[in-house]
Structure 1
């Protein structure tokens, strides 16, 4: 059963004049939350075999720190994930091939919008409520599907959980 983990990058430095948005790095608390999010995903019994990561500095750093707890996962940096929408994210997912569990490390509002778009009957109500308010930094929505990646469409998955790495101290 294909499983999707939609992870939002952890807390990054604030936008600043002269700093490209894609170059914003993680803050210290974001680095800790990234590490913790990887641990929480592993503790939930999830073991991604493919990571699709936005090319921004903050998403790459988030994944690098998460991946310490998630070994044996192939990584692909997907340019399309940086400034995309739900349809663009689904297009990238359609190319996931035979991966069983895929983690997408991306951005808001696309991550929560995609989770809401894909969540169908049988979804966890508490998780749906959390996604409706947007995914905070350092959190991930988990969805399960009964169809291959190439057939994923609106409301065809079950949102089972929202996991957080934010329970760390500064």
Structure 2
């Protein structure tokens, strides 16, 4: 059964004059939370086959640190994930060519909005409530679905859980 993990990058340094949003790096606490998120996913039995990662520095750093617990996962930097919206993210997901689990390391509000958009019958109520408030940094929404990636759409998945790496 295909599984989608929508992960928000970990805590980044604050914006600063002369530093583009794309170049913002992780804060120290974000580095620790990134590693913990990878470990939490592994402990939950969620081992992705493919990671789609936004090109922003903070998302690439989040994935690199998460991947220490997920070493067999292939990763791709996908420019379209940065500053996208739910339809843009869905366009990327409908082209996925793996049968298993995919993690998207991206940004808010797209991650939580996509989880809410995809969540249908059978979704966990507590997870739905958490997603409705937005995904905190270093947190992931886990969804499963019975259709093909190309058929993902509104209410076609079940939101199973929200996994956090923030308990560091």
Deviation at 1:16, TM superposition (A): 1.0
Where do 4+ consecutive residues of structure 1 move more than 3 Å?
none
- 1:31 is aligned to 2:36: no
Per-residue deviation at 1:95? Answer: 1.4
Give the length in aligned residue pairs.
168
Q: Any stretches of 5+ residues in structure 2 without a counterpart?
A: none
- The TM-score normalised by the length of structure 2 is 0.99
Alpha-carbon distance, 1:126 to partner: 0.2
Query: By how many angstroms is 1:71 displaced?
Result: 1.9
Conserved? CA contact 1:8–1:140, under 8 Å: yes
2:13–2:25 CA contact under 8 A, matched in 1: yes
Q: Partner of 2:123 in structure 1?
A: 123
Q: Say yes or no: does 1:49 pair with 2:49.
A: yes
- C-alpha contact 2:55 2:82 (8 A) present in aligned 1: yes
Tell me what 1:136 maps to.
Answer: 136
Alignment of 1:69-108 (within 5 A): 69-108=69-108
* Distance (Å, rounded) in 2 between the aligned partners of 1:97 and 1:147: 13
**How far is the alpha carbon of 1:162 from its aligned partner?**
0.1
Q: CA RMSD in A?
A: 0.5
TM-score (norm 1): 0.98
| TM-aligned CA deviation for residue 35 of structure 1 | 0.1
Q: Matches of 2:95 and 2:149 in 1, distance apart?
A: 7
Residue 99 of structure 1 and its aligned partner are, at CA, apart by: 3.5
